[in-house]
Amino acid sequence: MSGMAPPWALLAEITHACPLHCPYCSNPLELVRKSAELGTGDWERVFGEAADLGVVQAHISGGEPLLRPDVAEIVGAAARAGVYTQLVTSGLGLSASRLDGLLDAGLNSVQLSLQDARRPGSDFIAGRESYEAKAEAAAVIRAAGLPFGLNVVLHRHNLDRLAEIIDLGAAWGADRVELANTQFYGWALRNRAALLPTRGQLERAKATVEERSGSGPELVWVMPDYYEGVPKPCMGGWGRRSITVGPDGTALPCPAAYAIAELPFPNVREHSLAWVWEESPAFNAYRGTDWMTGPCGGCPRRETDFGGCRCQAYALTGDAARTDPACSLSPDHHLVRDLADAAGSGDAVPAFVYRRPGAGQEA
């Protein structure tokens, strides 16, 4: 192995199929069809190579991973490779017997998504009835005694109920509540004007998190970078900590990187994970600091935030190598500031464009 530090985590997106229609979905506009998905044996090889490379944790995700009938075999393959496994699920389809099968296969933890604290809001955001199924899934996870994280994507339609969301997480027995402000990639970019919160909502939410931290479930909160003027060290740096493998085997340094059309993302059907991590041009494109242009080049924060988010730079400027416009030093910062200001302007908020059932996922 070269001198490169190994990846810590593998995000295994085993399918793009999903029963929900969330407007903030970060999956790409063009979803992978079922007929193009990797098979069980492919995933077995990928997990083996990941473990050899140094990966310690696999997030088995989607879409909805429970829509794969072989999800227990896939979890078992990761467990046999010696990798800690987390199922990332909407909860739809997570019965006690299904979870038993996953536990037998070696599942270590579950992250359950929730859209809002109350049934009407949660079902409205998910685009279908799903709140009750999530409550039942939470009970099943808790009864199994597994480490349990609740993940809630935040935006202008649920931020005002943050205290209730935290209370619900505690009532459902979550060990940890991840309060993930919406990132505008993939489908979420299409719904940006409908989802962007006001500065006032964010300030109140931040105060709630400060007040509630230290009691009840662990709270994980990151202020959205559109409002801070400070970019996030996205993914802990490009190609530094994790690998995403999409349903068709496309390997990415970040789950949102599909959109960067200029990069030749490798496929695990053709390359080993070691080659992907160490040699592939796409993973090396934004490592280190030599690629940096503009203010990042001489900035004292360049080893701290790695120039911000490549996918955001690409989405907003068309050039993934530019300084992230979320940075107040970026010549493109007005793009982000104008959007944040517009969210608080009192203008009419557009309706959601939901992900349509099965769109792009047919065999």
Span of 35-43, 140-148, 297-305, 337-345 interacting with ligand SF4 by CB under 6 A:
297-305
Cβ atoms of 130 and 23 within 8 Å: the answer is no
d(CA 93, CA 81): 26
CA count, 13 A, side-chain hemisphere, 164: 13
As to burial, measured by CB atoms within 10 angstroms (0-12 exposed, 13-18 middle, 19+ buried), residue 182 is buried
88 binds, among ligand SF4, ligand FES, none (CB under 5 to 8 A by kind): none
Annotated binding-site residues for [4Fe-4S] cluster read 18, 22, 25
Q: Starting at the edge strand that comes first in sequence, how are the strands of the sheet with 84-89 ordered? A: 218-222, 176-181, 148-154, 109-114, 84-89, 57-61, 9-13, 242-245, 251-252
- Give the bridge partners for 181, in sequence order: 154
Q: Pick one of ligand SF4, ligand FES, none as the site partner of residue 307 (Cβ within 5 to 8 A by kind).
A: ligand SF4
Report the residue from 36, 329, 335, 359 that binds ligand SF4 according to the rule CB under 6 A: 329
Bridge partners of residue 252, in order along the sequence: 244
CB of 189 to ligand SF4, least distance (A): 20
Interface positions, 209-268, toward ligand FES (CB under 6 A)? 234-235, 238, 254, 256-257
The verdict on 296 binding ligand FES (CB under 6 A) reads no
Please count the CA atoms within 13 angstroms of the CA of 192 that sit on its side-chain side: 15
Beta pairing partners, 250? 267
Widest pairwise Cα distance in the chain:
56
| Site track 173-212 with ligand SF4 (rule: CB under 6 A), x = hit | ----------------------------------------
**CA 81 vs CA 28, 56, 77, 277: distances in Å:** 29, 10, 6, 18
Distances (CA, A) of 155 to 173, 184, 207, 267: 24, 11, 16, 34
**Which CB atom, from 253 or from 307, has the smaller least distance to ligand SF4?**
307
| Residue 301 binding result from ligand SF4, ligand FES, none, given CB thresholds of 5 to 8 Å by partner type | ligand SF4
* Rounded-to-integer distance, Cα 338 and Cα 329, Å: 15
**Minimum distance, C-beta of residue 310 to ligand SF4, in the bound complex (Å):** 11
Q: Report the nearest approach of ligand SF4 to the CB of residue 292 (Å).
A: 7
Query: From the CB of 156, what's the least distance to ligand FES, in Å?
Result: 21
Give me the phi and psi of 313, to 5 degrees please. -60, -40
- Other residues' Cβ atoms within 10 Å of the Cβ of residue 306: 25
Which residue, 212 or 310, has its beta carbon nearer to ligand FES? Answer: 310
* Among 323, 332, 333, 361, interactor with ligand SF4 by CB under 6 A: 323
In angstroms, rounded to a whole number, what is the distance separating the alpha carbons of residues 317 and 41? Answer: 40
The least distance separating ligand SF4 from the CB of residue 312, rounded to whole angstroms, comes to: 10
Among 147, 216, 295, 344, binds ligand SF4 (CB under 6 A): 295
Q: Choose the contact partner of 305 out of ligand SF4, ligand FES, none; CB within 5 to 8 A by kind.
A: ligand SF4
Which residue, 213 or 304, is less far from ligand SF4 as judged by CB?
304
Number of residues in the chain? 363
Q: Choosing among ligand FES, ligand SF4, none, which partner's interface includes residue 329 (Cβ < 5 to 8 Å by kind)?
A: ligand SF4
How far is Cα of residue 24 from the mean position of the Cα atoms in its chain? 11
Does 302 bind ligand SF4 (CB under 6 A)? Our answer is: yes
* Main-chain dihedrals φ then ψ at residue 14, nearest 5 degrees: -80, -15
Per the structure block, which two tokens stand in for 305? 């935030």
* Contacting residue, 310, 322, 333, 355, with ligand FES by CB under 6 A: 310
Tell me how far, at minimum, the Cβ of 256 lies from ligand FES, in Å: 4
Residues 4-63 that bind ligand FES (CB under 6 A): none
The residues of the shown chain that bind ligand FES, judged by CB under 6 A, are: 185, 234-235, 238, 254, 256-257, 309-312
The residues of the shown chain that bind ligand SF4, judged by CB under 6 A, are: 231, 295-296, 299, 301-302, 305, 307-308, 323-324, 327, 329
